[in-house]
Every structure is written in C-alpha cells, then in structure tokens.
Amino acid sequence: MFVERKVREFINVDPLQTGGVLTEDARRMLVEWGDGYSVCDFCEGNLHEIRNPPVKEFVQELAEFLDCDVVRITNGAREGKFAVMHSLAKRNAWVVVDSNAHYSTYLAAERAGLNVAEVPNTGHPEFRIVEDGFAEVIEETRKKGEVVLAVLTYPDGKYGNLPDAKRVIRACHDYGVPVLLNCAYSVGRMEVKAGKLDADFVVGSGHKSMASAGPIGVLGMKEEFAKVVLRRSERFGNKEVELLGCTARGVPLMTLMASFDHVRERVKRWEEEVEKARWFCGKMEEMGFGLLGEKPHNHDLLHFESPQFYEISKRVKARGYFLYKELKKRRIHGIKPGRTRSFKISTYMVPKEKLEIVLEAFKEILEKYQSFITPPK
C-alpha cells in the first residue's frame, strides 16, 4: 500500500511541522537507511559510539552545539524528560514546572512517580511565566517534600513565550534544585547554549525543530548528572538503564544527522525569523486578530484570538470546520480542523511571499462571510 500525502505541496503553517520539514539530504537518507537495524551494522554496544555511520562524531558535535558536557540521542523530547525525572525521582518528591508546560512534562512526572507544582503565569492575554515565581513555589513545595527538579518550557507550545531562563535557573540553583530546559520548540530553530545558561539538562525534539523524521530527540546534561541519569546496568555493564540500553536505533537518527549542517546554519538566521513573525503579527492585528502571548513576540509560534471566525462558525453549515475548509481550498495547511475561537500558526521557514498568500486568504474569508459577523458594539 502506498498512501499519498496530499498536503505535502501545500503552504504549511502548522507549528508542529514547520521546523520538522526534511532537508533533501535527510529525505534521501530515509530510503538509504530505511531497513530495520541498518544503523547497527557496526555497533559495538552503544548507539552514541557507533563510528560507521558516524554517530559518535555527530554526538560530539551535538554536545558542542548545545554547549553540554554529555549528550545522548533519545526518541523525543518527552523521553529525555522522562529519563531525567525517573533517575532523580524519590518517594514523595516534587518537580516544579512552569504553568505553560507541555502535557508530556506532566505525563513524564506522573510516570516517574513525581508530584507536580506549578509556577503561575500572568494570564490573558500574555500568559508570561513569572520568573520569580520559581523561588516562591520551591519555597512552598519544600514544606511538602523534596524538590528534585525544575522544568522550564523554553518556549512553551501554547503561546511561544520565551521566559528569562537565566533568571529562573539562578533562582532554582539558590535552592539547590537542578533545572531542565524543555527546548522542543527552540533547539534547531534558535541558538540554545545550555552551558552558557547554566542549565543542568536540556531536551530538544528532532521532528519538531531539527528538520528530522521522528521520533527523535536530543538530551544534554552536565557531567555531574551523567553518573545518575546515565548509570549503567548491573547485569549488562555497557548499557545505560534509563535509555533501556538503546534509543533511536534507526532511520530517524540518520535524518537528524543529515540535516545537522543545515540546522547549525539556520539558527544563525533566527533574528530574521523573529522579524518575519512580528511582521506577520502586525498584519493579522490590522485585520482584527489579537495575539496571545508576549508582545513584542520573540518566536515564530503565534496564537491568535479570532472571535470573528467563531461568529461565522455559528452560522455556517460546516460549523467549526469552515475555516479549515476555506484554507484547504487555497492549499494552505496547518490550522487545526474545527478551531475558530483561536488558532496557532507558525511562520518558521515559510517565505514571506507565501505568508502574503496566507494573509490574503484570511482577508478573503473575512470578506466572504462579512454579513455573518456582528459588528462589535
């Protein structure tokens, strides 16, 4: 069976997908290394030490890229978070997370048997994480049990907010609490130097932000934590227990490696991407869509409120799906079907000419259904 992916030629503004589009080299790797376990031809026991293909060299370069002492390949950002949490977990212990955290952070904690305490955000419309809240929440939580880790989502996947990581890390370290930066939406898009920020752990997502086929992720850490997180099996002395001995032993890793040169170059153009996202925001606001999250915005993940679309959805046959259908007609992909009250969109690596087409589409849709929108009083 072969299934065509019809939207592959569409303009893609899906925040989940804009950073995961493969490079040509990565696409060729898919076929070349697609056979099961082909990566393992010359493995001597550890994925990150394989010399042919040059995984070992890649992992060393990745450590430099992330500015971390030790790096491992994982099956995704969540698997990295889980490995860290599981190895640090104790009875009745806590992890402190920002309140914009991804659901997988909560699930990782739950699976590791950790309790979760949340640092609040400022609420509508900016939802900024209160950096100083980390100290307060750790202070309070310590009364209930040991705080073994803090997680900062950098940026979060709801609003694309980038909190002041240094400030959060400093505050947590004052209490002796290590910090994991969840960089699923940043590593591979913008420069993230974990060492410079003094982060103890960093996780990234290959399929989210590193032009890779998934599932694949990266986990970086300080040397002092490698002893705990990467401890070896008693029975199989060369296997790392938290990684179950091996992680992404297949073609996703080969695509991550194939795209790495491109990724290292593209992070240098991050400012242009932010500039473009802000320009797009400006145009959307002119049409009456309200940006949620930080203003001015510092990331390509944009979340807009769209009460006009909601009004329309109440009066058309397709209901909430009208927006998705209108965009599909125009060969634009990435706004979640059924959504109208608010929606997320990403401008990352989408050329300005194509964003102009997206803006024009929104304008046309608003005009087409003009009579369905009740003017604000």
Is residue 366 helix, strand or coil? helix
The DSSP element (H or E) to which 333 belongs, if any, is strand 332-333
- Name the residue nearer to ligand PLP (CB basis): 55 or 218: 218
> What is the SS3 assignment for 105-153?
HHHHHHHCCCEEEEECECCCCCCCECCCHHHHHHHHHCCCCCEEEEEEE
The span of 124-132, 133-141, 177-185, 192-200 binding ligand PLP (CB under 6 A) equals: 177-185
The DSSP element (H or E) to which 74 belongs, if any, is strand 70-74
Of residues 53, 76, 178, 320, which one binds ligand PLP by CB under 6 A? 76
97 scored as a contact of ligand PLP (CB under 6 A)? no
Of residues 188, 217, 293, 320, which one binds ligand PLP by CB under 6 A? 217
Here's the x/- map for ligand PLP, 145-164, by CB under 6 A: it reads as: --------x--xx-------
Q: Which pair of tokens denotes residue 344?
A: 């997320």
Of residues 102, 128, 222, 249, which one binds ligand PLP by CB under 6 A? 102
Residue 22 CB coordination number (10 Å): 18
Task: Count residues near ligand PLP (CB under 6 A).
Answer: 14
190 scored as a contact of ligand PLP (CB under 6 A)? no
255 scored as a contact of ligand PLP (CB under 6 A)? no
- Name the residue nearer to ligand PLP (CB basis): 299 or 369: 299
The backbone torsions φ and ψ at residue 236, rounded to the nearest 5 degrees and listed phi first, read -115, 85
Instruction: Supply the minimum distance, in Å, between the C-beta of residue 206 and ligand PLP.
Output: 7
**268 residue type, one letter:** K
The backbone torsions φ and ψ at residue 332, rounded to the nearest 5 degrees and listed phi first, read -120, 125
User: Could you write out the DSSP letters of every residue in 248-288?
Assistant: --SHHHHHHHHHHHHHHHHGGGHHHHHHHHHHHHHHHHHTT
| Pairwise CA distance, residues 285 & 363, whole Å | 12
- Name the residue nearer to ligand PLP (CB basis): 19 or 53: 19
**Rg of the chain on CA atoms, in Å:** 22
| Pairwise CA distance, residues 81 & 75, whole Å | 11
93 scored as a contact of ligand PLP (CB under 6 A)? no
The span of 75-83, 117-125, 340-348, 361-369 binding ligand PLP (CB under 6 A) equals: 75-83
205 scored as a contact of ligand PLP (CB under 6 A)? yes
- Name the residue nearer to ligand PLP (CB basis): 252 or 320: 252
- Name the residue nearer to ligand PLP (CB basis): 76 or 220: 76
Instruction: Supply the minimum distance, in Å, between the C-beta of residue 158 and ligand PLP.
Output: 9
CA dist 155 → 58, 293, 298 (Å): 25, 11, 9
Of residues 208, 222, 249, 303, which one binds ligand PLP by CB under 6 A? 208
247 scored as a contact of ligand PLP (CB under 6 A)? no
The DSSP element (H or E) to which 342 belongs, if any, is strand 342-346
Of residues 114, 179, 180, 184, which one binds ligand PLP by CB under 6 A? 184
The span of 182-190, 223-231, 267-275, 306-314 binding ligand PLP (CB under 6 A) equals: 182-190
Please give the residue ranges that form the binding site for ligand PLP (CB under 6 A).
Answer: 76-78, 102, 104, 153, 156-157, 182, 184-185, 205, 208, 217
